[in-house]
Amino acid sequence: MEGFSFWTDVRIRFAETDAQGIAHHASFVVWLEVARVAHLAKHAGGYQAIRDGGIEALTTEVNLRYHRAAYFDEALRVWARCGDLRGARFAYEYRVERDGELVADGYTRHATVDRDTYRPTRVPAWLADAIATAEASSG
């Protein structure tokens, strides 16, 4: 994956399918989150570290384009990368693949807020540094 260096794998659960016989489109939103959490765990000490630092990262936008149907018990690879870090905002891009074939792609946008006041708060320097380092090393 050009530009991506991190991925996580998910296997489609039966509960994630629907009566069309395919993975329900809302299931993908959860898989993006799984990848985001795994990415932060690897590069930034984990989502829990962010929360422990008095910060909540809210999701402010989700975009997903579905290119192929996916089915029960299939293994999907979710590529994720973080970028566009500015002030209290950052974004993630994703590609969801099955055996190298594009199934879906999309992005999410996030805002960091103070956990008590819910006011926008700059992404902490340690988190910004961790993300910058992660993406730089992914060449």
Binding site for a copy of itself (CB under 8 A): 13-15, 17-22, 24-26, 29-30, 33-34, 37, 41, 46-48, 56, 58-66, 69, 71-73, 118
Q: How far is the CB of 139 from a copy of itself (least distance, A)?
A: 28
Q: How far is the CB of 131 from a copy of itself (least distance, A)?
A: 18
8 A C-beta contact, residue 80 and residue 94: yes
Q: How far is the CB of 98 from a copy of itself (least distance, A)?
A: 15
Q: Which is nearer to a copy of itself, 1 or 41 (CB)?
A: 41
Q: Which is nearer to a copy of itself, 72 or 132 (CB)?
A: 72
The tokens for 54 are 């008095």
Question: Burial code of 32-59, b = ≥16 C-beta within 10 A, e = fewer?
Answer: bbebbebbbeebbeebebbeeeebbbee
Kindly tell me the sign of the dihedral angle through the C-alpha atoms of 74, 23, 14, 6: positive
Helix, strand, coil percent values for the chain (each to nearest 5):
30, 40, 30
Q: Which is nearer to a copy of itself, 20 or 137 (CB)?
A: 20
Q: Which is nearer to a copy of itself, 74 or 135 (CB)?
A: 74
8 A C-beta contact, residue 32 and residue 103: no
Q: How far is the CB of 45 from a copy of itself (least distance, A)?
A: 12
Q: Which is nearer to a copy of itself, 48 or 133 (CB)?
A: 48
Q: How far is the CB of 113 from a copy of itself (least distance, A)?
A: 9
Residue 43: DSSP 8-state:
H
